[in-house]
Structure 1
Amino acid sequence: MSVDAEKMEAKGSTRDTVRVIVHALILALIVRVFLFQPFNIPSGSMIPTLLVGDYLFVSKYSYGYSRYSFPFGFNLFPGRIWASEPNRGDVVVFKLPRDNETDYIKRVIGLPGDEIQMIHGVLHINGQAVEKVKIDDYVVTGSSGRERQMARTKRRCPTGAIRCSTSMTGFGDNTEVYKVPENHFFMMGDNRDNSTDSRFLSEVGFVPFVNLVGKAQVIFFSIDEDSSFWKVWDWPTEVRWDRIFSVVH
């Protein structure tokens, strides 16, 4: 084979490689923008459903698309297209209404028109108390290594969620009646005593439908909160292998 032929073959191979890389990047961009977006959990507001260090996929198509479905929040069209409202109990990523930029993840508790109230730590939906059933305690280990037990209860309602609480009481355990406006949703964390959510109107409040980013679907990776994703050498001991590929309920 001549030198010129070898050069042409090398150029053709380089072009093929570049073409494959470009196609892969375009495909990844399409998947991320329109289908699934990865998120990681930075706080314990959704314990025990989601832990600090969980990485999960959120389906962008579940509720249709709004400006917040896309990078940088470009306002390409008003409202939502191909809209489908979430169900009570869905775990949802949304843009914080206060700034329309910060990503929050909570559980849908109240639908448009619902009346929500907490009375002595008991959730009431449309005047009906949501029955709680005590199950085993959940042990939380702090950064100092100190363990703390949190009572876990399961609610007999469509949310089907397991929630955590401590023996302490606060504002979030006794609230006014919240009337959920049209095209808005009431969100709460499963770790209710340590969750800034729709109960706090100045912090989160009612979440507009347009602010919903997507539905949490599956945990694809999970690592201890004191470690980091990029510390591959820690994976054998720090990765929570039993949580990988867990479906989010």
Structure 2
Amino acid sequence: MAKEEKSGGIWETVKTVFWALIIAGVFRTLFFQPFWIPSGSMKDTLLIGDFLFVNKMTYGYSYASCPSIRLNSFGINIDAKDVCGFLDGDNTRLFGSEPERGDVVVFRHPVNGTDFIKRVIGLPGDQIQVKQGLLYINGTPVEVESNGTFTETAEPQGPQGLRPRCENGPVGTGGVCEKSRWTETLPNGVKHDILNIGMQGSDNTPIYTVPEGHFFMMGDNRDNSADSRVPNAAGGVGFVPFENIIGKATRVMFSSSGRSMLFFWTWRGDRFFHKIT
């Protein structure tokens, strides 16, 4: 009898874990997906180590709504296309709603499938260009105004140990890294901060005409962002298909300035439930 009870207890545990995983998978597929900011391409809107949930209900559902599960330590690499690839290819969404200009969204890279987070700058049919670091939308420059200086410590950041680039030149470890900050106003009235490091190739681009069913994405840390200014064939992001969008980022849940989000003593007290604008 004791052996039967033990066997039954193990089976109940297995069933409990199984259904817990199923429920978690459904929740992550249909409603919210966790995302941890790995790079500085969206500073100062988002910092390395910010942890947030992406709202998948905002734009409806496509194959990209299925989560990718990558656990390299265990040799697990399940891509969204492995599960929901049958939905891929027609660039449509179920209960679809297009993102608005200025939304901060998470999307799948059109080529390698990596999750990226950027700001929607160009809508289908728009003409986008950057000249001398100033953004032009349909031939009209956006409004910008100075908003002081963004400062951070020049040191390795996050699990990848990325060092920030600085406008005030190479800065030694522990020094103050500075970037000029500007507030950019998009044609629909959305205001957000952008950072400047210095003049470089991505500050002068050709005119890009956004194809139907695609979007043009840019990082707020303009001189440190791989985005739609570089075609994906050249190692950039290029135009992002509607079906590749995963969801909208609206609020930071908490943030860690250390190498792991589990190091609670490195959490940033001013980032709890911080609204993303």
Query: Which residue number corresponds to residue 96 of structure 2?
Result: 83
The answer to whether residue 181 in structure 2 is matched with residue 147 in structure 1 is no
Q: CA deviation at 1:138?
A: 0.6
1:75 counterpart SS class? helix
Q: What are the ranges of 5 or more consecutive residues in structure 2 without an aligned counterpart?
A: 68-78, 156-172
- Structure 1 residue 119: deviation in Å? 1.2
Aligned partner of 1:239 in structure 2 is: 267
| Distance (whole Å) between structure 2 residues aligned to residue 164 and residue 153 of structure 1 | 6
1:58 is aligned to 2:54: yes
Of residues 192, 198, 209, the one that matches 2:242 is 209
Superposition pairs of residues 53-202 of structure 1, within 5 angstroms: 53-71=49-67, 72=79, 73=81, 74-77=84-87, 78=90, 79-99=92-112, 101-143=113-155, 144-157=173-186, 158-166=189-197, 168-201=198-231, 202=234
4+ runs deviating over 4 angstroms: 6-23
Identity %: 46
Post-superposition shift, 1:174?
1.2
RMSD over aligned Cα, in angstroms? 2.1
Secondary structure of 1:85 counterpart: coil
Give the unaligned 5+ runs of structure 1. Answer: none
Cα distance in 2, alignment partners of residues 98 and 146 from structure 1: 38
Matched residue count: 238
Q: TM-score if structure 2 supplies the norm length?
A: 0.79
Hey, what's the Cα distance between the residues in 1 that align with 2:133 and 2:193?
Answer: 14
Residues of 2 paired with 1:146 and 1:96: CA distance?
A: 34
**Equivalent residue letter for 1:155:** E
- Counterpart contact for 1:58–1:217, Cα < 8 Å: yes
- After superposition, the C-alpha distances for 1:164-193 in whole angstroms (9 at most, x for unaligned) are 112x10111111111111001000000001
C-alpha distance in structure 1 between counterparts of 2:56 and 2:40, whole Å: 23
CA distance in 2, matches of 1:10, 1:239: 43
Report the residue type matching 2:225 in the other structure. S
TM-score, normalised relative to structure 1: 0.87
Query: What letter corresponds to residue 148 of structure 2 in structure 1?
Result: D
Measure how far apart 1:12 and its partner are: 8.4
Residue 211 of structure 1 and its aligned partner are, at CA, apart by 1.0
Give the corresponding residue for 1:44.
40
Distance in 1 separating the partners of 2:43 and 2:24: 30
Shift of 1:17: 6.5
The answer to whether the 8 A contact 1:109-1:159 is kept is no
**What is the CA distance between 1:29 and its match in structure 2?**
1.8
Which residue identity lines up with residue 255 of structure 2 in the other structure?
A: S
Bigger radius of gyration, 1 or 2?
1
How far 1:25 moved relative to its partner? 3.3
